[in-house]
Amino acid sequence: MNCEMSETRMRILQLLKMRAQMSVGQLTDALHISSVGIRQHLAILEAEGLVEHQREKLERGRPHHLYRLTEEAHSLFPTTYANFAVELMHEVAKFNGLGFINKVFQSRMQSQMQTYQQRVQGKTLPARLKELALIRDEEGYMARVDENGTDYFLIEHNCPIAVIAEEYPDVCEIELALFRHTLEAKVYREEHLMRGSHRCCYRIPKAAQDEPA
């Protein structure tokens, strides 16, 4: 992100990336800053073309504004040179076919799996999941772990390879297989960026943690 941008505005962008849209009140509660201060930061971000808003009508009271990121703002988050990678894949596919691209993805998964498994080796499922989220966060996926009474959730708020996934959707299925092998557990994708969600969310049942994936 822009190193000259204030820490508060960077945090606002991160929150909007993670939650899709938020009101001034929600941002105030999250950042513990006055609503006046939040509005000033939002005004600057809107002027820079990074944030936009829409009016939400409430059943009672005055309508309020919901703020969200613009397409330009999404480009501030890690993409790992995805556009360049897609162009290279197009060139490779011309000579070797789409099947070769999938072989490349499979080979990459094998390399990732070795690295992932080294870091989760000997850990319980909850610990493996936390370590996997840490790995993915380091790779730019803005990952975290959540849970309820029956399930764990691996949530990724950013996709550095989104441009690649749009062109070659098989890479998403290969990633899902990578998670299953790494966690040695059943993993179900509940939300998907490629299907219109603002995040990818994977559910891991607690009751099945000792069963094969």
Q: The pTM is what? A: 0.69
Q: Looking at the 3D structure of the chain, how many domains does it have?
A: 2
Same domain for 199 and 148: yes
User: With pLDDT > 90 as the criterion, what percentage of the chain qualifies?
Assistant: 43
**Residues found in the chain:** 213
pLDDT at 210: 47
**Is the residue at 212 inside a domain?**
no
Token output for 55: 């009016």
Same domain for 113 and 62: no
| 74, 98, 114 - which closes a domain | 74
Same domain for 54 and 99: no
**Is the residue at 46 inside a domain?**
yes
| 32, 57, 74 - which closes a domain | 74
Buried b (16+ CB within 10 A) or exposed e, 59-70: eeeeeeebbbbe
Query: 178 near 128, Cβ under 8 Å?
Result: no
Same domain for 164 and 90: yes
**Is the residue at 1 inside a domain?**
no
**Is the residue at 210 inside a domain?**
no
Closest by alpha carbon to 180, among 141, 122, 101, 125? 125
**Is the residue at 148 inside a domain?**
yes
pLDDT at 80: 58
Phi-psi group of 44: left, alpha or beta (phi > 0 → left; psi -120 to 50 → alpha; rest → beta): alpha
**Is the residue at 211 inside a domain?**
no
Supply angle C-alpha 203, 208, 213, rounded to 5: 75
- Three-state DSSP string of 131-185: HHHHHHHHCCCCEEEEECCCEEEEEECCCCCHHHHHHCCHHHHHHHHHHHHHHCC
pLDDT tens by residue, 80-123: 556 667 777 788 778 787 788 888 888 888 989 999 999 999 99
The whole domain housing 18 covers 7-74
| 15, 42, 74 - which closes a domain | 74
pLDDT tens by residue, 5-45: 688 888 898 888 888 888 998 999 988 899 999 999 999 99
